[in-house]
């Protein structure tokens, strides 16, 4: 059993991720779980610990979810700060002093991946890596090859059991619910296969654009940003075999098996789109060919899923913000009674948790005809009792790797998209506020078209 970390160090302490996610998560951990270890921020701002405390206070006010001033004061009391350049060995000597006595620190690299090699090396040389764990954030490379290289750098100092790769989708309540829903209900499992399921669609729609992250997006694009990681995890949970309950790595073993069974995509399986106006964003090239939208059709070559298409759509500047899975069941034989769609399971992952069953019932009147109805099994404004970051940070501090991406899974997921990233199909324009380029219709033509999530109140 891993032991709880005795210090948390986070690099990039004055950055965006720390401001939006890390401080609020730490605040929640102090409030709800009594977190009480030194927390050392590292950055090069030329400022002091007082300035860091002010930033933490502002962050919790702006992005925190809990009203707990006493916990905020306790968090500020735990904060320490090391200012300096990551290339400078003195920064790490100062860090070692701050870590005085710590035997099991966790180092959170909330910094661009280009800085990982230098920070990892310095941690090792300064003796700060002994007994330590490291947390890194996606993107884990830009393709399989660079993911391997990145991993070589990190694993030159940390072993796999000490590397915690955050894909925050794994920390979401509604995503974890997919596993519970599937395996805690007798009625689902007999239907959950190629004999009863016609198709599976996942839509991750965002109403907003790139929100000032133009230069990041130019390097990423929708496939690298959310498909290779977040949506692949969703597919993994939807398609996996029941994990054994007898050993710790069972869940991650089942996930990687799914990724390995997904047929690598070819250009005909993918439609890429770019919203009109993207090229005018700051940091974006005037002739950018980067996609802000992607639609893909995946095939899973497994006993359970052979012949069942898994479709993904993800994009910025779409009509609403919502992430939804629709599992369509095959038509019953008496198809006169079930003309259009109507046998499905809808799993809404955000902004609310909603699970509903689409069924057809008799339309009132003389004729033996049916109409569609939808029964909500659960409908909650938000399933997030705690944020994904609170959950994952806590797991990393406790040393539980279950909900973190494992290197073999990262590489297997890259293998699915590598081919289309290397020779991508032409990017198609689409108007903001629409469901993306019309070319995407072709991918869903044989399954009755795309199901677009609707605004709910």
Q: Residues in the site for ligand BG6, rule: CB under 6 A?
A: 206, 225-226, 350
**Could you give the CA distance from residue 347 to residue 429 in angstroms, rounded to a whole number?**
29
Task: Give the nearer residue to ligand BG6 in terms of CB position, either 293 or 305.
Answer: 293
Q: Between 206 and 254, whose beta carbon lies closer to ligand BG6?
A: 206
In whole angstroms, how close is the CB of 215 to ligand BG6 at the nearest point? Answer: 13
Residues 6+ apart with CB under 8 A from 156: 120
Say if CB 25 and CB 387 are below 8 A apart. yes
Query: In angstroms, what is the minimal distance from the CB of 316 to ligand BG6?
Result: 7
Residue 152 · residue 163 · CB < 8 Å: no
When CB distances to ligand BG6 are compared, the closest residue is: 225
Q: Smallest distance, Å, CB 322 to ligand BG6?
A: 10
Residue closer to ligand BG6, measured from CB, 84 or 113: 113
* Tokens standing for residue 244: 């054994």
CB of 173 to ligand BG6, least distance (A): 11
**Cα atoms in the Cβ-side hemisphere of radius 13 Å centred on 29:** 25
Catalytic, 27? Answer no
Question: Which is catalytic among the residues 27, 107, 168, 230?
Answer: 230
**Nearest partner of 77 among 118, 113, 37, judged by Cα:** 37
Residue 367 neighbours by CB under 8 Å, 6+ apart: none
Shortest distance (Å) from residue 261 CB to ligand BG6: 25
Nearer to ligand BG6 by C-beta: 116 or 217?
217
Q: Do 223 and 421 meet the contact criterion of CB atoms below 8 Å apart?
A: yes
Q: What angle do CA 98, 99, 100 make, to 5 degrees?
A: 90
Q: Where is 106: in which H helix or E strand?
A: strand 105-109
Q: Which is nearer to ligand BG6, 59 or 350 (CB)?
A: 350
Alpha-carbon span 249 to 331, nearest angstrom: 37
CB of 422 to ligand BG6, least distance (A): 22
Q: Residue 293: name the closest of 168, 146, 424 by CA.
A: 424
Q: Which is nearer to ligand BG6, 205 or 397 (CB)?
A: 205
Q: What minimum distance in Å lies between the beta carbon of 413 and ligand BG6?
A: 14
- Distance between CA atoms of 298 and 311, rounded to whole angstroms? 6
Nearer to ligand BG6, 225 or 324 (CB): 225
Q: 3-state class of 9 per DSSP? A: strand
Backbone angles phi, psi at 254, to 5 degrees: -70, -35
Contacts of 305 (CB under 8 A, 6+ apart): 193, 194, 239, 261
Using CA atoms, how far apart are residues 334 and 339, in angstroms rounded to an integer? 9
From residue 24, give the alpha-carbon distance in Å to each of 58, 76, 351, 456: 10, 12, 19, 27
Annotated catalytic residues are: 230
């Amino acid at each position: 059993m891993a032991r709880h970390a005795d210090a948390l160090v986070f690099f990039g302490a004055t950055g965006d991720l720390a401001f939006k996610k890390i401080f609020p998560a730490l605040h929640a951990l102090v409030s709800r779980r009594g977190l009480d270890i030194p927390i050392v921020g590292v950055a090069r701002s030329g400022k002091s610990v007082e300035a860091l405390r002010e930033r933490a206070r502002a962050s919790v006010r702006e992005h925190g979810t809990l009203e707990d001033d006493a916990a905020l004061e306790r968090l500020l009391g735990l904060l320490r700060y090391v200012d300096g350049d990551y290339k400078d060995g003195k920064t790490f000597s100062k860090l070692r002093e701050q870590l005085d006595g710590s035997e099991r620190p966790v180092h959170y690299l909330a910094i661009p991946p280009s800085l990982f090699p230098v920070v990892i090396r310095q941690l090792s040389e300064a003796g700060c890596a002994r007994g330590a764990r490291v947390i890194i954030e996606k993107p884990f490379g830009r393709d399989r090859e660079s993911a391997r290289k990145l991993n070589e750098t990190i694993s030159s100092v940390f072993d796999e059991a000490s590397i915690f790769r955050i894909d925050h989708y794994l920390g979401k309540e509604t995503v974890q619910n997919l596993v519970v829903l599937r395996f805690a209900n007798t009625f689902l499992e007999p239907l959950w296969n190629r004999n009863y399921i016609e198709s599976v669609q996942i839509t991750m729609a965002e109403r907003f654009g790139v929100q000032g992250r133009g230069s990041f997006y130019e390097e990423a694009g929708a496939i690298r940003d959310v498909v290779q990681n977040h949506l692949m995890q969703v597919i993994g949970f939807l398609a996996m075999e029941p994990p054994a309950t007898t050993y710790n790595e069972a869940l991650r073993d089942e996930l990687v098996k799914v990724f390995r069974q997904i047929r690598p995509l070819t250009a005909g399986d993918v439609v890429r789109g770019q919203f009109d106006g993207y090229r005018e964003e700051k940091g974006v090239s005037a002739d950018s060919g980067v996609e802000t939208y992607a639609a893909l059709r995946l095939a899973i070559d497994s006993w359970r899923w052979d012949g069942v298409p898994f479709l993904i759509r993800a994009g910025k500047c779409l009509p609403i913000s919502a992430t939804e899975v629709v599992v369509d069941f095959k038509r019953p034989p008496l198809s006169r009674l079930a003309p259009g769609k109507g046998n499905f399971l809808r799993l809404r992952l955000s902004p609310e948790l909603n699970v509903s069953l689409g069924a057809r019932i008799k339309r009132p009147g003389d004729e033996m005809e049916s109409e569609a109805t939808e029964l909500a099994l659960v409908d909650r404004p938000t399933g997030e009792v705690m944020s994904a970051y609170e959950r994952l940070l806590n797991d990393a501090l406790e040393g539980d790797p279950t909900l973190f991406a494992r290197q073999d899974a990262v590489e297997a997921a890259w293998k699915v998209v590598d081919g289309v990233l290397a020779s991508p199909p032409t990017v198609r324009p689409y108007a903001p506020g629409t469901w993306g380029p019309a070319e995407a219709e072709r991918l869903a033509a044989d399954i009755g078209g795309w199901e677009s999530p609707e605004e709910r109140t």
